[in-house]
Amino acid sequence: MVFFPSPGIGHLIPMVELGKLILRHHPSFSITILITTPPFETGATAPYMSRVASEIQAITFIELPPVELSVTQIDHSLTFMFEWLLLCKPAVAQALQSISEKTVIRAFVMDSFCSTALDVATDLGVPAYFFYASAAAFLTVFLYFPELNKQNPGKFRDLACDLVLPGLPPLPPSLIPEVMQDRNKKVYEWFLYHSAKVPQGKGILLNSFEELEPLGLKALQALMDHTHGGVPRPPVYWIGPLVGGEDRSGGDNDTLQWLDSQPAGSVVFLSFGSVGRFSEAQIREIAVGLENSGQRFLWVVRSPPREDNDRTKRLRPSEPDLEELLPQGFLQRTADKGLVMKSWASQAAVLSCAAVGGFVSHCGWNSVLESVCAGVPMAAWPIYAEQAMNAFLMVGEMGLAVAVERGDDGFVKAEEVARCVRELMESEVGKRIRERMAAVKDSAARALRVGGSSLKNLEAMVNAGKHLPSSLETEA
């Protein structure tokens, strides 16, 4: 199988996990992962790839040759990425061609942001699948986007009423991500392009599991029944949760040792994805709130966004100067109960520590799944992309998170930080969320066991049309 993740560690990790899962049950397969490294790469990918390559021989990475992209008229960093991926198409074609000369490619699985590469696989006669790295509920919105686009000539957020989609409750238009709001933007056109292209694959592999998202399951079923210009929609294979392992080799041993020395369930972890960043004012406000909450904490702090508007550098911040950024004396005053990490933590390993009792998160889908797999309740503080929708589901539909109340400008005051941290860690509400999380954690583990829903679905995909001998027919 050949995988083509879009740039960014949040898209690479689940695809590597998919590779590992397939290899566990089909050891005769090999997985080749095509990697493209644009200038905005955070730097997290290279060490991760070398760890994976050294541990698993059947996974090989092919780094595609660099391409040159002029950065004029780029309205969003994702536009840059999509244009970049388009330029990578000839290199993808060459890589697939050369692999197919040596072996039969059973499937080409590309991230849904890499849909410009679909034609390459089609031209070579390779079965092409898409990998969708977010929630089923949001996949429904994404697949329905061409219809939404036709129905609403303006910006969604200007609508006076909620959006109505098959199988979903009425959705406030503000839940539609910024990149899908404004039809005058290039990035909007790109989303429209991908949402029309993804259904043309042989199937969609979804990084979620049926027991986590009853609403998403219902919505996708309703969408399948919804005629799509007479064209049948492709099958959706729920194959999650695919999350990074609890790898402790990421270089933050001191942090993990500190966590191991804290009482069980006593530490709140704050981390906002691979690229989430706050203004200096917001960072200070979080510090004040955390200190006032009186809770133990582990907080990943990244440098605030720079003033210069070079979108190609957006994802590569410098190391933060904590003494300068945080309120005077904060680090000293909280030294006995808190730890601040610069820029990055081994998140999955941190979440799996017994000491971690809550997670203040931006609700990126990988973070949600990692929290679910570790059974850690969340406080939902969405920042960008489809995180508002994920937060809406986590708080309302699933009851797995408390909501962090943001001002109209997205700013969160210190009192609110303290309130939701306390609610998460100490209150009856937090306790009930923790109990629900524990149950969902069990169902996550079951989904990937032999006989579990996701493993059955994966097997159906792997065997689709191939009649491979299955090792997975026995019940758990």
Q: Do residues 436 and 399 lie in contact, with contact meaning Cβ atoms separated by under 8 Å?
A: yes
Residue 53 CB, nearest approach to ligand UDP (Å): 18
> How far is residue 427 from each of residues 27, 153, 366, 391, measured CA to CA in Å?
47, 45, 26, 20
Between residues 99 and 373, which has the closer beta carbon with respect to ligand UDP? 373
Residues 6+ apart with CB under 8 A from 14: 131, 133, 207, 240, 242, 243, 244, 366
Between residues 360 and 462, which has the closer beta carbon with respect to ligand UDP? 360
Residue 171 CB, nearest approach to ligand UDP (Å): 21
Dist. CA 413–CA 168, nearest whole Å: 32
CB under 8 Å, gap of 24 or more: what pairs does 388-392 form? Answer: 388/174, 388/175, 388/177, 389/135, 389/137, 389/138, 389/141, 389/171, 389/175, 389/176, 389/177, 390/134, 390/135, 390/138, 390/363, 390/364, 390/365, 391/363, 392/171, 392/175
Give the pair of three-digit tokens for residue 176.
């539609």
Between residues 106 and 194, which has the closer beta carbon with respect to ligand UDP? 194
The residue number with the shortest CB distance to ligand UDP is 364
Dist. CA 261–CA 62, nearest whole Å: 41
Between residues 167 and 244, which has the closer beta carbon with respect to ligand UDP? 244
Dist. CA 170–CA 164, nearest whole Å: 5
Residue 31 CB, nearest approach to ligand UDP (Å): 19
Binding site for ligand UDP (CB under 6 A): 9-10, 13, 244, 271, 273-275, 300, 344-348, 364-367, 370
Residue 274 CB, nearest approach to ligand UDP (Å): 3
Between residues 111 and 210, which has the closer beta carbon with respect to ligand UDP? 111
Between residues 77 and 274, which has the closer beta carbon with respect to ligand UDP? 274
Between residues 141 and 345, which has the closer beta carbon with respect to ligand UDP? 345
Residue 110 CB, nearest approach to ligand UDP (Å): 17
Q: Which residue type, as a one-letter code, is found at position 17? A: E
| Number of C-beta neighbours around residue 469 at 10 A | 8
Between residues 334 and 366, which has the closer beta carbon with respect to ligand UDP? 366
Residue 111 CB, nearest approach to ligand UDP (Å): 12
Residue 10 CB, nearest approach to ligand UDP (Å): 3
Alpha-helical (H) ranges within 152-204 are 186-197
Residue 104 CB, nearest approach to ligand UDP (Å): 32
